[in-house]
Structure 1
Amino acid sequence: MIAALARGRAGLMLASQSGLAAGLAWFVAHDLLGRPTPFFAPIAAVITLGSSVGQRVRRTAELVLGVAVGIGLGDGIILLIGTGPAQIGLIVLLAVLIATAVGGGTPLIVQSASSAVLVATLTTSSGQPWTRFLDALVGGGIGLAVMSLLLPLNPLTVVSRAADPALRAFTGGLHDAARGLAARDPDMIQAALERLRAAEGTFTAFRTAIDAARENVAFAPARWRARGALAQYVEGATQLTHSLRNVRVMIRRAQTALNDDEPVPDVLPSSIQHLGDAVELLRQEWDRGVEPLATRERALRAVAESGRAYQEGVGYSGGVVVAQVRTAVADLLRATGIEYAEATRQVRDAVGWHGRPHGARQRSRRPKQS
């Protein structure tokens, strides 16, 4: 029940936008422009809002073009060979072929076919085809106006809601991996790896939300003031995805280290724990819209702990884990707004390695462990 209420609340704005756009589209087309039954206008308005998050301008263009293709084919074929099942099948076949040939996406293909069917079954060829095209143009324009001017979404709300599950899953996977490594339990580490693999879906939703928010900020003057705060998410999302992939490599090597019975210093799982803490701090600091200073401090602490683990002695896979911690932290620092060269320098300073890793020199003199 609680989950259903939360989903309903999250969809309230889209529902409000769609209802307002549909009503306005009908009013403009019917009452202002004098169209007797402008059913394409509210349809176009709702499709523009409901099926085009993040690409509304492009998909609205596809929508209107699809209506034009469908109407043109429908009216033309009906005029030439009349109506009937065969004509409807031919109209849809040609509409889909044309939409696909011009490289259209799903909205263009679906709208071309559905518009052709509506023209062939619910309307007659006696009217002027351009009027139905005008209906679609009015509906698409009203949809864009509603989402840009009348009821624009709050881009920060959209992005933070999408970022929250992604970063929580990332944090949880790292913490699970740290506990599994500390307990020397390969099954716990495998579960952590599966959790992070599943997090790919939440990161995809996060990136989609960013696209939607960027479009919203670009076209909605009321939301222009959100550009600065939104930039944190926009610039950090790609680097977080890189960090996630490096962490997954790290966890696989941690599992291999346990399976090969390699030494695991206590500070190594501690390092991974700190990395998870850093991701959680980033979620909190982004949500508050503050400079992610605590995130950077905790991330660099993770690097320092990994350096200590290397100096205490790790096997081959353990060395890979250390290297991946460094890379993941560098990505995380870049997600906080630090440039590549500076992030790399801070990582090396934190771990205490200059030139060739000091820990590697020590290990080269250490007798091989059985």
Structure 2
Amino acid sequence: MAKQRMGTRERLELVDKSLQARLKRVRKRFLPIMQTGLASGLAYYLAHDVAGHPRPFFAPITVVIIVGMTGGDRVSKSVDMALGCILGVLVGDLIFYRLGAGGWQIAVIVAGSLLIASFFSSSVLINNQAAIGAILIATIMPPGAEVTGIDRTVDAFIGCVVALATIALIPQAPMASARAEVSKVMGIMSSVLDDVAKGLRHGDAEIIDEALEIIRGSQTGIDDLASAVKSGEEASRVSPFLWGTRRYINSLARVIPPVDNAVRTSRVLARRARVLVEDNDACSPQQVEILDTLAHVCLEISEVYDVNSRVAQANVIPECVNQLRGAAQNAGMSALPEDAVLSAYAVLAQTRSLIVDLLMVCGMSRESAVAALAPTSSTPRFEPESFDLD
């Protein structure tokens, strides 16, 4: 009975977590949904009641496509969509509308439209819109019909203008998703480094294997981070309400390369750690302690970006830098065991690279980050710095 009650409690906790995740996703999507709904209705009104088009279906469709785009390319893609509509109308009206509808006719229309559009532009969106326009004109929108190709082009222009105006006048929080992605990636790195340290401490390759599985799936988070930052940069250019955030957005954009490098470095570090353990070799306790420090720093950075508090950032980041600089001083050749094997050297080298990456995530230049390391060369490129950890 006790096991049954425990199982029920666990199931209820899982259901509660699932509901919380769904509610969080709905709250996150609420503003984009309202943007899309209001803009679609306005685009339809302008095309139907103002422009007088009887069935302006493409005006709201264009709004949905443009407002729903991610990656910071909505302005250029809206222009591509409008140009594709014009090209599709011209190609359909002048060349293909007499072919009619049928299997071979559609094949000729699509292939011909794509070839012609490719001659004018390499944009996939322009090419696809040209083909769609030619198909519509050749089938359900021939010249002389109630809905013409010219109407469709005007509807596309209306949709593009309304979508861009919506992005400018009802902007989303430009960096909310980017901060969330940084927090998620740094949290993953903290977990991975913690597992690698445990695996090295206990000589358990399975723990490191689990860490490798986690870190291998983290590239999607990096791609999402880059896309979110690009969207934020675009929003700050388009919306006058966000012009004051450009400096902050630019500073966040500079975080992407070192975060990406840190993830890649952690991946290589975990692989070398697994080799070390599989060979029944060991690194020094000092190396493991450095990895524990890096895992803690990654967790601190993750929490800073999660709460989005400038006060927390001003207090936590300097402390993280101090911890990293202490780790950098300890990550010299003296950290290796006396009977160190190649993999132990490789783990140390990757640890030093990761320290540099994390210092850059905290805002330091590469030169200053490298200079913080204990020198391993008699002729270092950057003069090693001396500092008081207190």
Higher alpha-carbon deviation: 243-252 or 138-147 = 243-252
| Structure 1 unaligned regions, length at least 5 | 358-370
Higher alpha-carbon deviation: 244-253 or 222-231 = 222-231
Q: Does 1:203 align with 2:228?
A: no
* Equivalence for 1:361: none
Which whole-Å deviations, capped at 9, do the CAs of 1:215-253 have from their partners, x for residues lacking one? Answer: 111111112222233233210111111121122222211
Q: How does 1:122-141 map to 2 (within 5 A)?
A: 122-126=140-144, 129-141=149-161
* Equivalence for 1:2: 20
Q: Does 1:299 align with 2:324?
A: yes
Paired AA for residue 320 in structure 2: T
Instruction: Return the match for 2:283 from 248, 258, 264.
Output: 264
What displacement does 1:336 show?
Answer: 2.0
Higher alpha-carbon deviation: 183-192 or 91-100 = 91-100
Aligned residues with identical type, % of pairs: 27
Q: How does 1:143-292 map to 2 (within 5 A)?
A: 143-149=163-169, 151-286=170-305, 287-289=308-310, 290-291=313-314, 292=317
What displacement does 1:82 show?
Answer: 4.5
Alpha-carbon distance in 1 for matches of 2:121, 2:136: 23
Q: Does 1:333 align with 2:351?
A: no
* Equivalence for 2:8: none
Alpha-carbon distance in 2 for matches of 1:206, 1:79: 45
Higher alpha-carbon deviation: 119-128 or 101-110 = 101-110
Which whole-Å deviations, capped at 9, do the CAs of 1:283-319 have from their partners, x for residues lacking one? Answer: 2334323342122122223334433862543322111
Alpha-carbon distance in 2 for matches of 1:325, 1:134: 58
What displacement does 1:80 show?
Answer: 4.2
What displacement does 1:260 show?
Answer: 2.6
Paired AA for residue 90 in structure 2: G
Alpha-carbon distance in 1 for matches of 2:334, 2:126: 56
Given that 1:77 and 1:87 are in contact with CA atoms closer than 8 Å, whether structure 2 keeps it comes out as no
Q: TM-score, normalised by structure 1?
A: 0.87
Higher alpha-carbon deviation: 235-244 or 298-307 = 298-307
Instruction: Return the match for 1:50 from 65, 68, 79.
Output: 68
Q: TM-score, normalised by structure 2?
A: 0.83
Alpha-carbon distance in 2 for matches of 1:52, 1:90: 33
What displacement does 1:6 show?
Answer: 2.4
Q: How does 1:42-121 map to 2 (within 5 A)?
A: 42-102=60-120, 104-121=122-139
What displacement does 1:163 show?
Answer: 2.2
Instruction: Return the match for 2:378 from 333, 355, 361.
Output: 355
Alpha-carbon distance in 2 for matches of 1:180, 1:154: 40
Alpha-carbon distance in 1 for matches of 2:348, 2:264: 15
Given that 2:258 and 2:360 are in contact with CA atoms closer than 8 Å, whether structure 1 keeps it comes out as yes
Alpha-carbon distance in 1 for matches of 2:151, 2:40: 18
SS in 1 for 2:326: helix
- Superposed CA RMSD in Å reads 2.3
Paired AA for residue 202 in structure 2: A
Alpha-carbon distance in 1 for matches of 2:202, 2:136: 64
Given that 2:333 and 2:376 are in contact with CA atoms closer than 8 Å, whether structure 1 keeps it comes out as no
Alpha-carbon distance in 2 for matches of 1:315, 1:309: 14
What displacement does 1:116 show?
Answer: 2.5
Aligned residues: 353
Instruction: Return the match for 1:342 from 368, 372, 378.
Output: 368
What displacement does 1:85 show?
Answer: 4.5
What displacement does 1:83 show?
Answer: 4.8
